[in-house]
Structure 1
Amino acid sequence: MQGIKVLVTRPEPENTQTCQALSALGATPISLPMLEIRPLSSDAELSALRSQLYNLDLYQFVIFVSKNAARLAAELIDECWPMLPVGMHWLGIGQGTTQTLKDLNIPALSNPGNNTEAMLEWLKPAKMRDQRVLIVRGTGGRPDLAKGLEERGAIVDHLELYKRHTPEYTAQTFLFLDHPDVIWATSGEGLANLNNHVERFAPELKEIALFVPSKRVLEQARALGWQQAIYATGADDQSLMAATIQHLGR
């Protein structure tokens, strides 16, 4: 990665962590988050979340969709359950989310893939009829996971811990932005926000290699007119780095 300029669009705190990892490898990270994560924080919101978590032992499966979901949930679960309820399946979508859960002492498993579709495929052998599933996510997330599980007879609830917001950038931001060699977009929503800003302020960036984490986001990028959209097979740093090195022939 020596000398490669990478535009990193992850939300914080992952953005800073990824930039540090790139710097350690000799790359030049360019930080430009395209999502802002705002945890629910009012007394009423936190009270409602705790009330929901007191019933955590009613579920057979708890699925965390992101690192932010894992971090925020672990803090609340620790408040409500000094000892974790037993006999449950704790699942993280993607290796990064799963590792975050393990680091927070939640014994999570993960499928080999990194997205909703891979999780649904992995769960095909599992008996889901009448199983209660809690999906931990932000507000207004994709409905595909719940829909796929409900079609198999599962009873699905959501624990929504945060809201996603679009950061505000100006033409000046892009005027002084260091010109990247590659761009990393790690979610469909982040890509949509990036595309809106780029079309307004720096349309030339759409000619740069854009690395995305899934085939779904790859199709989205191509539909938006990104000329060099590349499937990186995952949203984690290792997958993105490997795809970048392969593309640049280093």
Structure 2
Amino acid sequence: MNSSLLHDRHIVITRPIGQAGKLSKLVQAAGGEVISFPLIEIAPLSNYQAFEHTISSLHEYDWAIFISSNAVQNGMPFVSKLELPSSLRFAAIGPSTAAELSKFGIQNTLIPKDRFDSESLLALPEMQTVKNQKVMIFRGIGGREVLADTLKSRGAEVSFAECYQRINPQQDLSQLTTFASTRSLDAIVVTSSEAMRNLLAMANHQAWLKNVKLCVNHARIAEEPTQLGLNVHIAAAPGDEAMLACLIKAVTSSASID
């Protein structure tokens, strides 16, 4: 990696602590300075009684779908205690989530081929023919409904197994506004819709945000900031390497919207 590509560039990474390490190292290797500012914190539930009750009937299901590595890490310790039929199939939103499942002995997990999101998972043939099948979706509290709604429209019976929560650890944006007023703040990496909502809510139309490139990893995350006229750049592919390429292109480009 050319260590001068991001020389003297200041990059904010909003991922949860523990999930930003690889991208931070890539940015630093390219000469950039990383400002860690997590807008999402993954926390366990205060009580898992309802979750355990939900998964107690998992042996009756055809599919267990995990929408994130966090869902695996917080849900599988409970699931692994159950006696489950060999007929139960597992699906994951992407390879990282499938890799987490493999740590619990789950192999042959169904994952999308290209982009790693609900829409790509739903496009797989196995998810097209789910009429009269029972599907349990492992996720955090709340979240998008497109996966469940689409499966229901195809005739599946869908239940949620919510096994963690997402909170915003930041009280305000003073750390970023102070930095922006004293030194250049070049780009902010946002890789979840919830983190973007937290950023926009706290910014509340503050003018400084219009001078910063927002680098996201999915068109869905770009929708709201684009509507607000902010400078949004979308990574061309999943993964940290693609996000690094997006950052380099964004901070060296004069285009307002990518």
TM range (shorter): 0.7 to 0.9
1:239 matches 2:242: yes
| 1:120-156 deviation line (CA, Å, top 9, x unaligned) | 1224764210111111111121111100000000110
Residue equivalent to 1:33: 38
Percent identity for Structure 1 against Structure 2:
29
Superposition pairs for residues 22-101 of structure 1, below 5 Å? 22-23=27-28, 26-42=31-47, 46-81=48-83, 85-101=85-101
- Bigger mean CA offset, 69-78 vs 115-124: 115-124
Find the partner of 1:133 among 132, 135, 142: 135
* 3-state SS of 1:14 partner: coil
Find the partner of 1:189 among 194, 199, 218: 194
TM-score by length of 2: 0.82
Unmatched 5+ stretches in structure 2? 254-258
Find the partner of 1:164 among 163, 166, 177: 166
- Measured after TM superposition, the shift of residue 235 of structure 1 is 5.4
Q: Letter of the aligned partner of 2:229 in structure 1?
A: G
Contact persistence 1:6–1:180 (CA under 8 A): yes
| 1:84-127 deviation line (CA, Å, top 9, x unaligned) | 64223211113332333234432223102221122212247642
Between the aligned partners of 1:97 and 1:25, the Cα distance in structure 2 is 28
- Measured after TM superposition, the shift of residue 175 of structure 1 is 4.2
- Equivalenced residues, count: 243
1:111 matches 2:115: no
Contact persistence 1:59–1:131 (CA under 8 A): yes
| 1:187-221 deviation line (CA, Å, top 9, x unaligned) | 11111111122336x53133222111222222222
1:150 matches 2:152: yes
- Cα 1:27–1:99 shift into 2, 3 Å: farther
TM-score by length of 1: 0.84
Q: CA RMSD in A?
A: 2.6
* 3-state SS of 1:70 partner: helix
Between the aligned partners of 2:75 and 2:29, the Cα distance in structure 1 is 30
Unmatched 5+ stretches in structure 1? none
- Cα 1:205–1:79 shift into 2, 3 Å: same
Q: Letter of the aligned partner of 1:95 in structure 2?
A: P
- Measured after TM superposition, the shift of residue 33 of structure 1 is 0.9
Contact persistence 1:56–1:85 (CA under 8 A): no
Residue equivalent to 2:213: 209
